[in-house]
Amino acid sequence: MADLKSTSSEIRRTRANAVRALSMDAVQQAKSGHPGMPMGMADIAEVLWTDYLRYNPSNPKWADRDRFILSNGHGSMLHYALLHLSGYNLPMAELKNFRQLHSKTPGHPEYGYAPGIETTTGPLGQGISNGVGMALSEKVLAAQFNQPDHDIVNHFTYVFMGDGCLMEGISHEACSLAGTLGLGKLIAFWDNNGISIDGEVEPWFTDDTPARFGAYGWQVIDGVDGHNPESIASAIDRAQAEAARPSLICCRTVIGWGSPNKSGTESAHGAPLGDEEIALVRENIDWPYPPFVIPDEIYATWNAVDEGKASEDAWRAGFERYRTDHPALALEFERRMSGALPETWSDKADEFLRDVNAAADTVATRKASQQALEGYGPVLPELIGGSADLAGSNLTLWSGSVPVTAADASGNYIYFGVREFGMSALCNGIVLHGGLVPYCATFLVFSEYARNALRMAALMKIRSIFVYTHDSIGLGEDGPTHQAVEQTATLRLIPNMSLWRPCDTVETAVAWRMALERHNGPTCLLFSRQNLDFQVRDEQQIQAISRGGYVLRDCEGTPEAIIIATGSEVGLAVDAAARLNSQGRRVRVVSMPSTDVFDTQDVAYKESVLPPLVTARVAVEAGVTPTWVRYVGLQGAVVGIDSFGESAPAEVVFEHFGFTVDNVVATVEKVMTA
């Protein structure tokens, strides 16, 4: 419990005003930005950051630090001002470069730029959803590692959010699950200022927010004066004391607090205040200092370097006692928080791949994915995942799966419910927290619901794994509402997203391995509903799978034509090539489970697979066709589907849309004679 009596109200208001001044001055210098939220939430931030938040500015990655997320990320200058004032390595020059090219202070907080930024926020609602993932990680890791008299994982996740975050549907998904899972270490502050870009929110946002969160199973602390330190501190004390439920602190604030003419209005929201108004603010809040000038005595009241070091040192001393009593757990905790895979990983993964190849199973690749979880799961205790109410269809459960519940969070399986967007953003939060490697699953067509969370994972370059089954018109009778045709192509277009569409058990094992070993970005794994034939390969071909594309079936001499295929269409391509080759033609089959990985290979390798002189090329994939032009060229052709599907048994649908040996053969013959 904080002792606010030790700090005068004058000092507190001065500290908060330093945040206000830096925020409005940076926005004014940039000629763009959002001064209103930072000025309105400065008093809340001052109490939280100076009296409650456990952090070490000298080590932003301290494992047991509290996490702070600015879900209303448009108010980024609040966060940058806090980082600068408290002693993080974010000099004033970076604040002066707010929103400028290559600065550490972009328009919205971006992970990997300024130290202390825990996640990229801006798309409203995703910050709170990431926070749910971080709080879940804390609860899971605490259950897995803490021992009697040793709480090495014991921290809070604090989230600032505004009306916009609460209007976004994703906040409903994530906050509902947070209540169900009893995430008592999650504390969210609602900036209830009643203003958005379009003005007063009452004409379009009349939700009873406290009742809503109460229905989710949250502790709701209402009626908090967001400009009164005692009221704020009392609310935080109550929130910290509630172990079984997340807490929503409803803070009534005035947007643009301190601005004589613009506070409480939308004009303070998303535009600079203007030089004249800023001069009036300075006078109104008694801030006589020029822009970007903070007196040393104010810096001294904010600086948290020594206190932060002491907090981490105390934790480290406790961790060394933990190491003495539980040496194996201590080593495992350090490994998992570092993100490194186990020492045995490579050998175990190689062994599993050999076993998969020897088994030569003909199964659906969704089943092959489950087999991969069975193979890799025992080696990776950090692996945690689940499905959006489709466990029996996505096949995300494996024999070692143990559900995570409010009562027992020591497991490794999350029943996400029908929450595709929230699920995906929550997984991003799990990655960002550290110590766990998450996967989440649904049907491929419903990746659309989650799209912006996937984009954020790619933007942040984090290791989220998105599993999508029922990947094409092969879904069959459920029809075009559930049959993915454009999703594979559009997912490939996301920068830094790796996508694998394997054709059998061996390619699936490799795809999972590549996703688990990738540390600089997310991966989408696309799997079939229907059984796919096992493809025989030699050792060299098996090794080549990890290069994204390789020669699966070759011909005598220089090919006359090349068929490129992915996933469920690889078997079709092999059968078509076999018929053509039996007729005396020379046709090569290239399996390309990952176009993005293939594209990163050296020119010599790519040309060995796709010789430039062979211009008769046909791509075969049960999806839209335009993205394959780059591989088949203007003289080539694509057997695909540029319409929505139809409801019928899968084999009937495939035949209807031309995914037959006869059609592929005819298409190859046509390009060879063109």
**Which are the catalytic amino acids?**
420
Instruction: Let me know if 318 is exposed, middle or buried by CB neighbors in 10 A (0-12, 13-18, 19+).
Output: middle
Order of strands across the sheet that contains 186-192: 67-70, 157-162, 186-192, 247-252, 219-225
How far from 74 is each of 78, 82, 99, 179, 390, CA to CA, in Å?
Answer: 9, 15, 11, 26, 35
Distance between CA atoms of 273 and 424, rounded to whole angstroms?
A: 37
**Integer Cα distance of 223 and 226 in angstroms:** 9
SS3 383: strand
In Å, what is the CA distance from 274 to each residue of 64, 108, 277? 41, 21, 5
Cβ 454 vs Cβ 522: under 8 Å: yes
Structure tokens at 266: 């939308």
d(CA 304, CA 238) in angstroms, rounded, equals 24
Cα separations in angstroms, 443 against 300, 423, 486, 540 = 54, 13, 13, 33
SS3 150: strand
**CA–CA dist 107, 98 (Å, integer):** 7
Only one residue has tokens 């200022």, namely 193
Dihedral angle of Cα 503, 506, 507, 513, to the nearest 10 degrees: 150
Locate 48 and state its tokens: 């939280």
Calculate ∠ Cα 326-330-333, nearest 5°.
140
Looking up tokens 């803070």 gives 251
Find all residues with CB under 8 Å of 264, minimum gap 6, and list them: 193, 195, 254, 255, 256
Percent helix / strand / coil, the chain, rounded to 5: 50, 15, 40
CA 614 to CA 481: how far, in whole Å? 38
Reading phi first (left if > 0) and then psi (alpha if -120 to 50, else beta), residue 516 is in alpha
Question: Position 263: which residue type?
Answer: S
What is the DSSP pairing of strand 550-553 with strand 186-192? unpaired
